[in-house]
Amino acid sequence: MRKLTLLCLLLLSSSLWLKGQDKSLNGKWFLEEIVLKDSIIHPERNKFYLVFDGVEILFNKEKNRCGMTATIQNNLISDCYGSCTKICCDEWYGTTSQYFNANGSYEIKGSILELKNKWGLLKYRKSTPKDD
């Protein structure tokens, strides 16, 4: 009985905590462009993505995969912590990785997710069944 009570309390507290999360972020988003102050970078189509699932964010590099948790509320993503596999080198990603910091504000405009951080703007497109 004590274990059941503890489990119920845990489920209730986690559901209340997730209640404030923006569910419109959930799903897979493909990177379309990186807009910097002095340039725009267009990565290979459908190569880089983010997957939001509650407070968990998954993303890929060229060879490696990463996962992190974050605080997401009031159109802000903060406190991103996680790790990546270290299978091999990520050449293109390695030269642009500083721009992929998810800490910042976001806005969803139709099927486009715009993440703003201190380096610029990252534009992602919502995945459709055609992408998979």
37: nearest Cα among 124, 91, 117, 125: 117
The domain ranges of the chain are 23-131
Mean pLDDT, to the nearest integer, of 68-84? 85
Distance from C-alpha of 34 to C-alpha of 21, rounded to nearest angstrom: 25
How much is the pTM? Answer: 0.74
Quick: pLDDT tens for 112-125: 999 998 889 999 99
35: nearest Cα among 129, 112, 130, 132: 112
What is the fold, at CATH topology level, of the domain defined by 23-131? Lipocalin (2.40.128)
**24 Cβ contact partners less than 8 Å away, ≥ 6 residues apart:** 108
Given a cut of 70, whether residue 93 has pLDDT beyond it is no
Give the pLDDT confidence score for residue 9 in this predicted structure. 30
Please report how many Cα atoms fall inside a 13 Å half-sphere around the Cα of residue 95, on the Cβ side.
4
Token digits of residue 51: 């997957």
Do 107 and 122 meet the contact criterion of CB atoms below 8 Å apart? no
Quick: pLDDT tens for 46-73: 788 889 998 888 888 777 888 888 888 8
Quick: pLDDT tens for 98-113: 666 678 899 999 999 9
Percent of the chain's residues with pLDDT above 90: 29
